Amino acid sequence: MRDYVLMTDSCCDLTDYMARELELEVLPLTMHMDGQDYPNDLAGTAISNEEFYKRIRAGKLATTSAVNVGQFQDAMRRVLQSGKDIVCVCFSSALSTTYQSAVIAADDLRSEFPEAEIHVVDSLSASLGQGLLLYLAAQQKKAGLTAAELAKWVEENRLSICHWFTVDDLNYLKMGGRVSATTALVGTMLSIKPIMHTSDEGKLVPVSKARGRKAAINALLDKIEALAIRPEEQTMFICHADCELDARAVAQRIKDRFGTKTVYINYIGPVIGSHTGPNTMGIFFVGTQLDDQGQDQIQGAGHHDAAAGVAQLILGVHGGVHAAVQIGHGGKAAQKGEGGAQESGHLELRAHMEEQCADTGKEQGGLDAQRQAVLPHQNGHQNGGTKHSEHVLQTQDEHLGQPESPGVADRLIRIHVFSPF
């Protein structure tokens, strides 16, 4: 069996350290601000996350662009010339043209390297949801899956990664053309916070809305209770847009409420952060999915069967069981395990990625009072790419769910299907 490289892009929002521990090859998307290009490398070489959000909070505007075909060709050619194959897992094709660029590059290189395997997989994921999928895939690679087997594993398991987000400031959605000025104004006055998840098509879809930051965060935690399979045995990820202490408080609540042992936290990088604005937060875990109307669905299989399958996936990381679970677009789960146990090990990760939550005191005061915290530097660098004006920008109106108190907000607060990148 030929060795292979697990390749991805910077919208996975992992730290540079974790990406290196997972042995990932990461290509950066690009953020553009004030006439300058900033490769969104994970190390924050071109611009740190702290500096990016400082500028955004000061009113600077940013645009973004995908990884282009030439960048993928250069990176893939280097790997193939070293005698290795490639499994490339990309940012959701519903949100970016990065996946399409990788597909074109791979097609062009197959005639040049006929003996090589190049597998390109659409993660249908974003931010640390993509990161969690890669984290689990890296364990499967270490367990001995071939390149073809891992590509199939990612395709079969990508829909088991639950993404749940809340956006704090509707004005950034207004600037992106996803809500009207009136909606942003009224929503801001009433402190309306949209709750969104990633659909089976890889789109960010509004499911409900909450009145206030505290209620929005409670809604995210309730999704873990409703959807997570054996949360006490999982590793969960939290992303944040320059609100680290909020994220730490949420991570502690996850540990206290669900018994989850490990929660990793990191910034939303400049590319995704350009479209969401500061104080956005997302949580990511393995579980069952919802349909686009927010209804829990597992078509053709009972919830118990789905739970058993996803539990095997979780144990495949923590207990060394080599297994896979398939959750299709309707949410159907079916185990595709292989017998035997293989020790996958647990990566030692940098302390600043590891959740070490301090006591946050009273819940109500803790979240709002601590919101200005910043995380350590991030990494890397690369070239610009295809303008994200070429990306898919959905404009279909979707009603959010009812707020805590009915009234004029029910008629005014609308949000578009959210596909910004």
- In terms of pLDDT, which residue wins out, 99 or 399? 99
| Gap between the terminal Cα atoms of the chain | 37
Residues 299-322, mean pLDDT to the nearest whole number: 42
Closest residue by Cα to residue 187 from 369, 394, 408, 364? 408
Q: What local confidence, expressed as pLDDT, does residue 30 receive? A: 98
Given a cut of 70, whether residue 190 has pLDDT beyond it is yes
Helix, strand, or coil here: 22? coil
Q: What local confidence, expressed as pLDDT, does residue 147 receive? A: 98
Of the candidate ranges 138-147, 186-195, 315-324, 366-375, the one whose mean pLDDT is the lowest: 366-375
Q: What local confidence, expressed as pLDDT, does residue 179 receive? A: 62
Question: Model confidence at 249, in pLDDT bands (50, 70, 90)?
Answer: very high
Element (H, E) at 316: helix 303-318
Rounded percentage of the chain residues whose pLDDT exceeds 70: 67
Q: What local confidence, expressed as pLDDT, does residue 207 receive? A: 87
Q: List b or e across 63-95, with b for residues whose CB sees 16 or more CB atoms inside 10 angstroms.
A: ebbbbbbebbbebbeebbeeebbbbbbbbbbbb
Locus of tokens 């590059």: 105
Question: Model confidence at 349, in pLDDT bands (50, 70, 90)?
Answer: very low
Residues 254-259, mean pLDDT to the nearest whole number: 98
Question: d(Cα 420, Cα 276) in Å, to the nearest integer?
Answer: 9
Residues 202-217, mean pLDDT to the nearest whole number: 90
Question: Model confidence at 206, in pLDDT bands (50, 70, 90)?
Answer: confident
How much is the mean pLDDT over the chain?
Answer: 76
Q: What local confidence, expressed as pLDDT, does residue 371 receive? A: 31
With beta carbons less than 8 A apart as the criterion, state whether 386 and 237 touch: no
Domains of the chain in start order, with CATH, are: 4-158 (3.40.50.10170), 162-294+347-377+393-416 (3.30.1180.10)
Closest residue by Cα to residue 385 from 74, 37, 50, 119? 37
Of the candidate ranges 9-13, 112-116, 305-309, 332-336, the one whose mean pLDDT is the lowest: 332-336
Question: d(Cα 131, Cα 138) in Å, to the nearest integer?
Answer: 10
Q: What local confidence, expressed as pLDDT, does residue 264 receive? A: 98
Q: What is the pLDDT of residues 96-114, one digit of tens each?
A: 999 999 999 999 999 999 9
- Enumerate the β-bridge partners of residue 7: 25, 88
Helix, strand, or coil here: 26? strand
Closest residue by Cα to residue 71 from 49, 44, 46, 104? 104
Question: Model confidence at 72, in pLDDT bands (50, 70, 90)?
Answer: very high
Residues 361-389, mean pLDDT to the nearest whole number: 36
Given a cut of 80, whether residue 216 has pLDDT beyond it is yes
**What count of residues does the chain have?**
421
Question: d(Cα 264, Cα 352) in Å, to the nearest integer?
Answer: 9
- In terms of pLDDT, which residue wins out, 49 or 311? 49
Given a cut of 60, whether residue 400 has pLDDT beyond it is no
**Residue 193 carries which side chain, given as an amino acid letter?**
K
Q: What local confidence, expressed as pLDDT, does residue 37 receive? A: 98
Q: Which two tokens stand for residue 182?
A: 């009136």
Question: d(Cα 382, Cα 29) in Å, to the nearest integer?
Answer: 8
CA distances from 2 to 82, 84, 142 (A): 11, 6, 14
Given a cut of 50, whether residue 365 has pLDDT beyond it is no
Element (H, E) at 188: helix 181-189
Residues 403-410, mean pLDDT to the nearest whole number: 35
Question: d(Cα 156, Cα 136) in Å, to the nearest integer?
Answer: 13
